[in-house]
């Protein structure tokens, strides 16, 4: 886990300031994981421990995975890299013109396929929840969630086995109770989702 934090720091992926997260919450830290994931060797190293834990659970009969799927945009490279390390197909869900998360580009899952959902960062669970709904709507079964950074606060539960590469404590607030807004610090929105 410390190795992953070092990779995040060395890549310039762990930012400090006042940020608007894709969940709509505000935070004093932002994880721009694309800064780490742009380097294939660093992506492989950061996710190697996750892949090993998942392989171990598959071999022990605790977990079954047919396909690795990440929600666009943050989960795409994580899905690819874990798919590569696990020897499984990997693709992504994305938003349609209405903003709903769907499978597109000819990607398909069959009814009963078991899915590992991947994310770059987990804060509130909104993205993986929308990804899961899109996959369950076509008959897939979600069996696990993996991510590069787990930054959840207490009370955000994951309904499947969870495989984070690292866990980081980072303050975050609802916009109307943000401590940084109260101090007049300007907010920056670095993420890709329209809030």
| 192 located within any domain | no
Distance from chain centroid for Cα 23: 13
| 159 located within any domain | yes
What is the spatial distance between Cα 2 and Cα 24, in angstroms, rounded to a whole number?
A: 28
Q: Looking at the predicted structure, is the pLDDT value of residue 50 above 60?
A: yes
| pLDDT value of residue 78 | 98
| 110 located within any domain | yes
Q: How many residues does the chain have?
A: 195
| 124 located within any domain | yes
Domain that includes residue 143, residue range: 2-182
Averaged pLDDT score across all residues of the chain: 92
| 116 located within any domain | yes
Q: Please state the rounded mean pLDDT for residues 102-128.
A: 92
State what percent of residues in the chain have pLDDT above 70: 97
| pLDDT value of residue 153 | 79
Q: Looking at the predicted structure, is the pLDDT value of residue 41 above 60?
A: yes
| 195 located within any domain | no
DSSP string, the chain: -HHHHHHHHHTT-EEEEEEE-TTS-EEEEEE-THHHHTSHHHHHHHHHHHHHHHHHHHHTTS---SEEEEETTTHHHHHHHHHHHHT--EEEEEE-TTS-EEE-TT----TT-EEEEEEEEESSSHHHHHHHHHHHTTT-EEEEEEEEEE-PPTT---SS-EEEEEE----EE-GGG-HHHHTTPPPB--SSS--
| pLDDT value of residue 192 | 59
Domains in the chain: how many in total?
1
What does the pLDDT look like over 128-153, one tens digit per residue?
Answer: 999 999 999 999 999 999 999 998 87
Distance from chain centroid for Cα 113: 20
Q: Looking at the predicted structure, is the pLDDT value of residue 105 above 80?
A: yes
| 193 located within any domain | no
The CATH number of whichever domain residue 22 belongs to comes to 3.40.50.2020
Q: Looking at the predicted structure, is the pLDDT value of residue 191 above 70?
A: no
Q: Please state the rounded mean pLDDT for residues 157-173.
A: 93
| 190 located within any domain | no
Give the pair of three-digit tokens for residue 108.
Answer: 């398909």
| pLDDT value of residue 154 | 78
């Amino acid at each position: 886990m410390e190795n992953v934090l070092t990779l995040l720091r060395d890549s310039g992926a762990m930012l400090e300031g006042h940020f608007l997260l894709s969940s709509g919450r505000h935070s004093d830290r932002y994880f721009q994981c694309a800064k780490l994931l742009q380097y294939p060797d660093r992506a492989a190293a950061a996710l190697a421990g996750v892949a090993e834990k998942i392989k171990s659970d598959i071999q022990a009969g605790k977990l079954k995975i047919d396909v690795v799927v990440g929600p666009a945009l943050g989960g795409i490279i994580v899905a690819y890299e874990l798919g590569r390390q696990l020897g499984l197909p990997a693709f992504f869900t994305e938003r349609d013109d209405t903003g709903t998360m769907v499978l597109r580009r000819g990607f398909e899952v069959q009814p009963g396929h078991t899915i590992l959902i991947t994310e770059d960062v987990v804060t509130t669970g909104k993205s993986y929840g929308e990804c899961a709904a899109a996959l369950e709507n076509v008959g897939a079964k979600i069996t696990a969630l993996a991510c590069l950074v787990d930054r959840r606060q207490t009370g955000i539960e994951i309904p499947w086995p969870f495989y984070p590469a690292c866990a980081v404590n980072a303050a975050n607030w609802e916009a109307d109770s943000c401590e940084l807004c109260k101090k007049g610090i300007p907010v920056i929105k670095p993420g890709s989702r329209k809030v």
